[in-house]
Structure formats: structure tokens, C-alpha cells
Structure 1
Amino acid sequence: MEENIKKRKFPIAFISKLIAVGLIIWSYFLMPEFYDEKNTEYPKMLRMVSGLLSFLIPSIFLSIIRFIIITVYNARNANRVVRGNFVLGINRLTVVLNTVLAVISFMIAFGINPKEFITSMTIVAMAIAVIFREYITNMISGLIIMFSDDLSVGDRIRVGTYQGRIVDITFSNILLQDEEDDIVMIPNNMVFTSTFVNLSAHRSSLFSVKFELPVSTASTIDLLETEIKSLLLNHPNLAQDEEVQLKVMEIGKDYIRYKIDLHAVSNSSKLHKQLENEILKHVLKYEGELLKPSEL
């Protein structure tokens, strides 16, 4: 639904650029003497108009090319599920090119030759590249991520010690919403320099529920297993072709860690989380009822 809203969004910026170019062309025929190169009465205004046109016209063509590429891409992938962030990458790249065009048009508007300026600023540019090396590499990494199929907005990933759902991908960071609903900004470089796991790349209906209980409850664990089986029997969101088994994963000094493998009716992460919460609530109720008499 959200994607459809974005597709229907009226192209205000594009229409504004067309109107601005149309007004400049109209003024050219209305006041031709203003655009005469021999006219020295309004040199600054003439440079401003030249700078504005040097931004508007290429930017309009850039928007048209972007629209054609995205339209063709969506048409070719209309009948299949597409991973990756091709459209996001095209949009971000368009922003970068528009920024470059804006800087060049600004130079033209103030009578600065862009070619000479870049040549004279080569040494300074090298120094800037060294100073902002991390941001530049992050930006390149961001572009690689946007045009790759390794991850996409909405995927659940684990990068280093961070885990959550990708909310957005920018040139500098991946915005991750963790299980506490906090937004964590992870530098794009971390995807290539640390352990990276895409938990949504190969979605499966199989999921696991893990929990631990005190060692004192081990003698009655069969009762818990029976109760969980009763809880999940004929559950509308679970496949009923496999028997539910409570597995021991680890035995510690004061605790025992258990695991239950289940198959849901879909690969929805939200559904898996709901089922996990339902089972864990039952485990907590069981633990509370079991330990309450001994504590008293």
C-alpha cells in the first residue's frame, strides 16, 4: 500500500523545473535584448540565468532518464518478487548527480569556470578526500549495497552485535530498527568488514523458540512439554504435520536451556514473533506456578 502511494505521488519538482524553463524561454522571446551578449547592462543577471539553465535542463533530462529506467525495471519485474534496492539506488544516484549539477550551475552563475576551478583545487580536493575518507568509502559501500541483492529495506539482518529490521539505507548508514524499537545507525562499511547475516534472504516457515528454566524444574519438564503440545495442537498458524518436541540445548549450573522447532503457515517474521510470544507466556506461567509454592 505504501509503495503504491509513493508511485502515485505527483512530480512537483519535475513540473516546477519545466515551468521555470518555460518562463525563461518565454522571457527570451519577450525581452531578446536582455540575452544579447553585447548587452553589458545586466551581466550578473545574465550569468544567473545561464547558471539556472545549466542546472534545470540537464536535471530535467536526468529525471526523464530516471523515470524511463525505473518504469522499464518495474515492467520487467512486475510478475516476480524482486529483492535488492535498484530503485532506491537510482533515486540516491539521481540526488548525487543533481547536487553536482547544482554546484556547477552555482559556479557559472558567479562567473567561475568549473574546469579551471577543479584543476586549481586538485591538491585541496586530495586533502579533502583524505580527511573525509571514511565518509567517501561509506558512500561507495552504500551505493554497492543499494544496487546489490544482498539485502533490502525490510530485511532482518545481524551485523556484528546488532540485529533488527532495515528501515532505510543512506549513503552513510544503514538504519536498523532493533527488537527494542530503537533506531541504530550502522556505517555501511560494517557490512563488508564484520560478520553479516541476512536473516530474511532465504525466508523459511521454520523457526525456533528458545528459553531456559531453573534446574529445579527439570523433574516436571514432561508436564510442560505436554502443556505446550496441547497449546499448539490444531493451532491455525502452525503446520500440523510434525510432532512438537522439547529439545535440551544446554545444561548449566543453575539452568537448563530448551528449544522448540516449529513450522508456521507462512514465512512472516511478525507471525513467528507472535507465536514465540504466545509460547513464552505459557512457559512463564508454568514457571511461576511451579516455583511459587517453594518460594513461600
Structure 2
Amino acid sequence: MTKSISISFIVRIILLVALTASFVQFEAFYKQKDSILNIAYGLNTFLTASVLISIGHFILVKLYNSRNEHQVVRGNFVLGITRVATVGNVFFIIVSVMIALGINPKDFITSMTIVAMAIAVIFREYITNMISGLIIMFSDQFSVGDRIKIGEYQGKIVDITLANLVVRDEDDDAVMIPNNLVFTATLVNKTSQKSNKIVVKFELPVDHAVAVEELEQYFKPLFQNNPNLDHGQGFSVKIADLAKDFVKYKVEVSTISSSNRIHQQVQSKILNEVLQFKGRLN
């Protein structure tokens, strides 16, 4: 637990103990004040549930980290448990407010069944998004930090919420992608393990096409002098496709980190060199 969470947990424990003791110490007072008794019961319900959820969250995360101490893990499990804990706290806040207002939660839920069904229909998209979000969090297909392409969007995942994937695109804009889209569109995870490799593709007309070796010699000074590249991994230029009117090439390099900004800078420099090379051919 972080320091702030630990302090919050201790405060909740102290309040819960004090409130429980007050039921015994001030029993006569509570019997005379029904409204205050309801508020105390509501607060007691929230504190009890909150403490138990925090303990469960801590134990599950601790067990998960201990079990995977010597393995490379994606980290989504911890994110999923945290989101479930948040949903649990919100649920018990609502229940506690009902108790504080003198409303029996069980009777309320029973009487609101039809309304609840209508709400479920109205908010169907959000509910399915939330379920999809939980499935994503407890899967290992991708996690925060991965670079993905889904539909027309691509970039680096910076957060996974119960409603959206938050992706930082090439323009450094935050794009909110509904979780449902993950299961209905083709998704490409461009991050393999923790690889920092990037691929830049470009085309040359057939009549101006050159050998791969010539392109490698042309790009060599750029790659040798670029501090953002992992020089130990080297670079390569390959022919990706050959058509009637053009030849498609791809340049593969490895950067020193998976930073979205660094990837953009490297890609921009490579494309700028391609433009200069094309200018020399014309």
C-alpha cells in the first residue's frame, strides 16, 4: 500500500472501532434518536465494507505479486482488482446512504426491479463497456504501455477504464476508444513483450527503385548519430511489397525506450530522410 492509502485505511479502522463502541456506550441515546441511529448504521455499513474491500484488495495483490515475482507479467490483474474494489466501494456507498435515510435496501431493490430493467436497457452500452473493460483488465492480451492499432486509431495505451481504452496517438492527443470496440474490430498489438522496435514504411516508384544495400548506406549516418536508437540492435531495410508501379520498403529500428514521443521523433527523422532521398532521385 502507498503511504496515503495506509493512512486512509488506519483512519477508517479508527472510525469503525469508535462507531462500534458508541453503539454500546450511547445505546440509550441512539434509541431516542432514530434518524441519528440510521445515519450511524449507514456509516457503519460503509466503513465495514470499505475496510474488508481494502483488506481483500491488499491480500490479492500481495499474493499475485509474490506468485509472479520472478516472471514477466502484464500487470492487468492488479488494475482489474483495483477497478472492482472501486465499484464495490461505490455500491456500498449507495447502500449506506439508503440505510442512513431509513430505506431498506432489499425492499428498495425488489420494488425497483422494473425500473432497474429499464435502466439496464437505457445504459446497455455503458454496462457492456464496463463488462468488456473488466474482461480486458483480467486478460493478458495487452496492458498499459502497449502500442496498439484498432480500427483507424493507433497509439500507446495510457489507461484502461471501465468505459474506455485511453490511447495517446501520434499527435499526442488522448483518444477514448470504447472497450466494446476491442471485441468487434481488428486489434493489432505492436508491442511484443517489451520490444521497442518500430517499423517505418515508404514507397518509391518502380523507375526510381534502388537496391536495399544502397538505402542502408544512405540511412547509416542517421542511425549512427541518433541518440534515441538502440545501436546494439542495429537497423535493417527490407522490401515489403513489389507492385506494378511502386516498390514498398520498410525500415526496422529499435529505440532506447517505448516512449511515444521518442517513437514519433525517430519516425519523423526517417521520413524526412526519405523525402530528401526522393528529392535526389528526381
**TM-score band (shorter)?**
0.7 to 0.9
Q: Could you tell me which amino acid in structure 1 is paired with residue 241 of structure 2?
A: M
Give matches, 1:139-218, under 5 Å: 139-202=130-193, 204=195, 207-213=198-204, 217-218=208-209
Q: Answer yes or no: is the 8 Å Cα contact 2:159–2:165 preserved in 1.
A: yes
**Residue 248 to residue 72, structure 1, CA distance change in 2 (3 Å):** closer
Q: Against the structure 1 CA distance between its residues 97 and 287, is the aligned structure 2 distance closer, same or farther, given a 3 Å change threshold?
A: same
The one-letter amino acid paired with 2:96 is S
CA distance in 1, matches of 2:160, 2:210: 50
Partner of 1:23: 18
Q: What is the root-mean-square deviation in Å for CA atoms of aligned residues?
A: 3.2
State the percentage of identical aligned residues: 48
- Structure 2 distance, partners of 1:106, 1:59, is 14
Paired amino acid for 1:176: V
Q: Give how far 1:257 is off.
A: 3.3
Counterpart-to-counterpart distance in 1, 2:233 and 2:263? 15
The 10-residue stretch of structure 1 (201-210 or 43-52) with the greater mean CA deviation from structure 2:
201-210
* Aligned counterpart in structure 1 of residue 89 of structure 2, from 87, 94, 98: 98
Counterpart position of 2:230: 237
Aligned length: 279
Distance 1:115 1:49 in 2: 19
**Pair 168,116 (structure 1): closer, same or farther in 2 beyond 3 Å:** same
* TM superposition score normalised by structure 2: 0.84
Structure 1 equivalent of residue 273 of structure 2: 282
Question: What letter is aligned with 1:149?
Answer: D
Q: Relative to 1, partners in 2 of residues 1:240 and 1:72: Cα closer, same or farther, differing over 3 Å?
A: closer
Deviations 1:211-247 (A, max 9, x none): 23466744799755532246557987345788x5453
Tell me the equivalent position of 2:106. 115
Letter paired with 2:70: N
What code does the residue aligned with 1:184 have? V
**Greater Cα radius of gyration, structure 1 or 2:** 1
| Deviation of the 1:249 alpha carbon | 2.7
* TM-superposed deviation, 1:98: 1.0
User: 1:224–1:286: 8 Å Cα contact kept in structure 2?
Assistant: no
Corresponding residue SS for 2:177: strand
CA contact (8 A) 2:154 2:169 kept: yes
Which blocks of at least 5 consecutive residues in structure 1 are unaligned?
A: 1-5, 292-296
Change (3 A) 1:160 1:115: same
Q: Is the 8 A contact 2:239 2:247 kept in 1?
A: no
Matching of residue 249 in structure 1 with residue 241 in structure 2: yes
